[in-house]
Homo-oligomer: A and B are copies of this chain.
């Protein structure tokens, strides 16, 4: 049993404080890797929001609630629920008057990013966004190199549908994707890349 975020003390709406930094009893390596890119993006999005540059939020993780208990009249406690497969991407919002939509993925591989990590629903969703003239992309972190790439959705959709291609090679990313510069505020300035490739 562990907390999904690996966060420190959190104050819940009902005033209950819970130490959630419990050491996981099972391997959550993949999960934790995903979280750190997520945290960098969330912090970057807060900076963008505060500077009135963009409004981009992460969607909540979809959960199917099965049972809810009411320990008291006011508080609902979910006691049985399951993670659901997401039907869209993780992030969306508005930037320079346009709709923006992306998925963020992290890989430990030094060679490639496997398409197994992306759900078919998400590819279909990105394709639809392109058809509706939205800004769509995927951010891929190669944690071995500590590099974050912005891959245009049109590129990933094309490669995903090629039966001979099962992954996106790191070498391909170096040549055809866009390296996102890292800093302090924002940590990941992916909108600088968006400016370059979608507004130039």
Contact = CB atoms under 8 A, between A and B. Distances in A.
Interface in A75-94: 75-85, 87-88, 92-94
Given A80-B77, A81-B78, A94-B99, A64 B131 contact: no
A63 B60 contact: yes
B61 A60 contact: yes
A95 B138 CA distance: 21
25 contacts: A3-B65, A3-B66, A3-B67, A3-B68, A4-B68, A13-B85, A26-B70, A49-B128, A52-B132, A54-B132, A55-B129, A60-B63, A63-B63, A63-B78, A65-B81, A76-B82, A94-B101, A94-B132, A94-B133, A94-B134, A95-B132, A97-B98, A97-B132, A97-B134, A98-B99
Interface of A: 1-5, 10, 12-14, 18, 20, 26, 49, 52, 54-55, 57, 59-70, 75-85, 87-88, 92-95, 97-101, 125, 128-129, 131-134
